[in-house]
Structure 1
């Protein structure tokens, strides 16, 4: 068991797990720029004081995963420990975030090197700089969670095999499933064209917020998501936080997905005297 200090940079949209229930994948970097993945994290079941934001520093005890072979994956020894101890703000044009995530951490620019690294099980998390963004894609998905998996979760909850928190068990409701998936189309430093799905919680939350504020109009909500992720973010020095999924880490031709976006402002090239 290791005590770790981690800057949270990634929280994915919640998914359903037969074993763990509703969970999110949380990832971040140590002070030396190396990556860690925390899984499972029952984020919505944490007390308000235990929930954390992106760019919060957290300190917790972690143990290596016995079921997930990816090198950065750790299990929280106690999810009640996952409390923020500090926050890295965006002061001075994101100076501290830039220093840690774009200077201390390694930034990849070629997708093939990441694919090769995943196949060798050398890494499953990375900062990536696309050379050019060519599109943003919204595609319809199933609107309901898998009925079999959901039934298994409810049955395990009723049998007290899941959710030790009595209040959560009694009010158990899963988060709504996103009816759309979002993806970026981009080119890397080799000119390789790719399309990669975005699993960031913020993209899903933006869709639901826009849907509520525009009377349930899905077209308007999708347009709002596209404007932010394509039009606004294209005006920044956009980087991706990439991760592989455990299921496809070794098997997929390209196992990488976008688990977070980093729309950092361009760095000032000089100062006025």
Structure 2
């Protein structure tokens, strides 16, 4: 695929991998509005936060990901491949320029979208989805620590390779979220579904609120719900970015999770009469 221009729209919350340290999945749009997934990206080696932001146009050297059957999936040519930032799309004029790229192909029926994901000629694994109605925002406690075996493997690898010789704290991974956040919604098929949100922004929002409330998890969760339910779901024109995981794409009844939100302001149509 070589040098490719991509509008970054999704950065998932990091997960641990024995092979690549922390991993993130980045997804975005080509200039024609079609989706592309870029994976794996090693979180630490690329100084993730400093490399690129959502809605940056970037150029990156990509190649097909032969280990992934999902057609949208590509990988950087090497683990240290740079993301060259070209420009940034702002939110002027009610996100007009962003909408021109992002909203070219919007799904509204989850049953149809799941069928496309299972269709061997498509294996659709990324989509922009417009829910008919957001019914609730759910918060569930989960394990607050990373898997010990993976953590120990990463520590051993870091020590063996002496990856951080000048660091006072040579091994530090991103904190694992102690909660799972989900939207409950209706789609055009009339079926209620609950789907997990696995997005960098919701993770960062939680930790920022946790810090602001001096370690009060309940208050932090309340603030996350205010943003994602009271604000995004109630006052914004909310779309969901959906994606599948390779592990569960073929076996899960609904392989999709929410990997991001698109939330411009609602445009009020004024009457001509």
TM-score of the superposed pair, with normalisation by structure 2: 0.92
Q: Between 74-83 and 143-152, report the one with greater CA deviation.
A: 74-83
In 2, the alpha carbon distance for the partners of 1:166 and 1:52 equals: 26
Matches for 1:60-75 after TM superposition, within 5 Å = 60-75=60-75
**RMSD of equivalent CA atoms:** 2.1
**Partner residue of 2:137?**
136
> Are the aligned partners of 2:133 and 2:186 in contact in 1 as well (CA < 8 Å)?
yes
**1:195 paired to 2:175:** no
In 2, the alpha carbon distance for the partners of 1:179 and 1:167 equals: 31
> Are the aligned partners of 1:25 and 1:40 in contact in 2 as well (CA < 8 Å)?
yes
Q: Between 151-160 and 137-146, report the one with greater CA deviation.
A: 151-160
**Partner residue of 2:93?**
92
**Partner residue of 2:116?**
117
In 2, the alpha carbon distance for the partners of 1:119 and 1:50 equals: 36
In 2, the alpha carbon distance for the partners of 1:210 and 1:49 equals: 19
Kindly tell me: are residues 167 and 54 of structure 1, through their superposed partners in 2, closer, same or farther at Cα, counting changes over 3 Å? farther
Matches for 1:94-109 after TM superposition, within 5 Å = 94-102=95-103, 104=104, 106-109=105-108
> Are the aligned partners of 1:3 and 1:61 in contact in 2 as well (CA < 8 Å)?
yes
Shift of residue 41, structure 1, vs aligned partner:
1.1
In 2, the alpha carbon distance for the partners of 1:159 and 1:117 equals: 45
> Are the aligned partners of 1:12 and 1:25 in contact in 2 as well (CA < 8 Å)?
yes
Matches for 1:2-21 after TM superposition, within 5 Å = 2-21=2-21
* Unmatched segments (≥5 aa) in structure 1: none
SS in 1 for 2:222: helix
**Partner residue of 2:210?**
211
SS in 1 for 2:98: helix
In 1, the alpha carbon distance for the partners of 2:17 and 2:73 equals: 16
> Are the aligned partners of 2:60 and 2:81 in contact in 1 as well (CA < 8 Å)?
no
**1:146 paired to 2:166:** no
SS in 2 for 1:137: strand
Q: How many residues align?
A: 268
- Deviation string for 1:110-159 (max 9, x for gaps)? 11111111112521000000000000000000010000111122223333
- Deviation string for 1:93-123 (max 9, x for gaps)? 1010111111x2x100011111111112521
- Deviation string for 1:1-49 (max 9, x for gaps)? 4221000000011000111110111000001011111111123432489
Shift of residue 186, structure 1, vs aligned partner:
0.1
SS in 2 for 1:81: coil
* Unmatched segments (≥5 aa) in structure 2: none
